[in-house]
Amino acid sequence: TDVKKIAVIAGDGIGPEVVAEAEKVLKKAEELYGYSFETEHALFGGIAIDEKGTPLPEETLAICKSADAVLLGAVGGPKWDNNSKELRPETGLLGIRKALGLFSNLRPAVVFDCLKEASTLKPEVLEGTDLMVVRELTGGIYFGEKLRRQGEHGEEAVDTCVYNVTEIERITRQAFEIAQKRRKKLASVDKANVLETSRLWRETVNRIAPDYPDVELEHVLVDNCAMQLLRRPSSFDVIVTENMFGDILSDEAAMLTGSIGMLASASMGDSTDAGSFGLYEPVHGSAPDIAGQGLANPIATILSVALMFRLTFNYAEAADAIEAAVAKVLDEGHRTADIAVDKSKALSTSQMGDLIVAAM
């Protein structure tokens, strides 16, 4: 049989707990569909700092590079927040994205009907919201030169935001292609009235747009987009934007669905076609406040496995089964604490995982 290699990076906080449930799902998929997975665990983030003195050990990178896909839990926590830059979990995250060439971060924001009440938005506003933020992940102000220096007015700090046409073109072409497979609407978000990188971004998008005549394109300024996401979330289909804006807007979009504990994400390289390498992780963070207590919601990580099946392995049948199992368990009223109305009836992380596995 065709053995698929999956690098598993549990990370920090609730990472190990939610990843354990996702691994149960992998095992169940092997039983049901005859797949064969070889998982290899690797240290990453805070735990790697503690045990190896660096957030991204060489050996972890090697394991990821030799794998077909990476499953990531979450990284970071207050323990490492005051470390110097090289000894911070986030530095590992930026490093792995760059080292694996994962320039495209896909963050769907969908509303789970049975969880609509969890959103702070009015249900009628949320109705039909199903959008995807395509965030550029290896460029911009995240990766440009940074420095400290003495200036005329005391110490000063500098961050540099750089984009070249090649970087802009590859991410926006992916976004157009994704839009073609969805509702055929693309909003390109920039701050072209102020930033030079945004002007190059907009020019590039306009230059390639004629190659996708079936996609309706709009340019939205980032400040306006932050407003429109609140005013008319359901009118968006695909949003493409640069790294920093994508960080902010994808979190806003995820939160407005009320489903942030449920959202999966994929970070991809040159292609989002079936068979492409990808790193899959929940949108939520490491939630150090509830770590180790069996309270975390494993659904976002389990749905990250479904996304991996769909995008990297082309296992559509199993992906459908996972998503249907999640929907069924939720429809039956099962909830973890984060999404429970009556917290006293909330399930533990592993109870939720087991129910989903049983429903597959």
Could you tell me which residues are beta bridge partners of residue 41? 8
- 30 or 90: whose CB is closer to ligand IPM? 90
In terms of CB distance, is 72 or 356 closer to ligand IPM?
72
116 is catalytic: no
Q: How far apart are CA 114 and CA 126, in angstroms?
A: 13
Q: Using CB distances below 5 to 8 A depending on partner kind, what does residue 163 bind out of ligand IPM, a second copy, none? A: a second copy
Applying CB under 8 A, the span of 4-12, 22-30, 142-150, 306-314 interacting with a second copy comes to 142-150
Q: Which residue in this structure is represented by tokens 């049975």?
A: 114
The annotation status of 83 as a binding-site residue, yes or no, is yes
Q: Which is nearer to ligand IPM, 38 or 223 (CB)?
A: 223
- Token pair for residue 186? 């693309």
Tokens of 304: 């990250």
Report if residue 247 touches ligand IPM, rule: CB under 6 A.
yes
Partner from a second copy, ligand IPM, none binding residue 125, C-beta < 5-8 Å depending on class: a second copy
88 marked as binding residue = yes
Side-chain half-sphere exposure of 2, counting CA atoms within 13 A:
7
164 is known to lie in a ligand binding site: no
- Choose, by CB under 8 A, the member of 1, 3, 34, 154 that binds a second copy: 154
Binds a second copy (CB under 8 A): choice among 20, 87, 94, 290: 94
Distance CA 283, CA 175 (A): 19
Q: Which is nearer to ligand IPM, 90 or 216 (CB)?
A: 90
Residues within window 69-98 making contact with ligand IPM, judged by CB under 6 A:
90, 93
Residues 50, 130, 251, 354: which is the catalytic one? Answer: 251
- Asked if 7 and 19 touch (Cβ cutoff 8 Å), the reply is no
Looking up tokens 């935001």 gives 161
Tell me whether residue 263 or residue 360 sits nearer to ligand IPM (CB atom). 263
- How do strand 36-41 and strand 3-11 relate by DSSP bridges? parallel
Phi then psi for 52, rounded to 5 degrees? -125, -5
State CA 33 to chain mean position distance: 26
CB 239 within 8 A of CB 249: yes
Q: Which does 317 bind (CB under 5 to 8 A by kind): a second copy, ligand IPM, none?
A: none
Distances (CA, A) of 65 to 41, 68, 141, 241, 254: 13, 8, 26, 27, 29
Residue nearest to ligand IPM (CB): 90
Positions 248 through 267 that interact with a second copy (CB under 8 A): 248-252, 254-256, 260
Q: Please pick, among 68, 116, 142, 212, the residue that the annotation labels catalytic.
A: 142
- What phi and psi values does residue 113 have, to the nearest 5 degrees? -50, -45
Task: List interacting residues with ligand IPM (CB under 6 A).
Answer: 90, 93, 193-194, 223, 247
Residues that constitute the known binding site for substrate = 97, 107, 135, 223
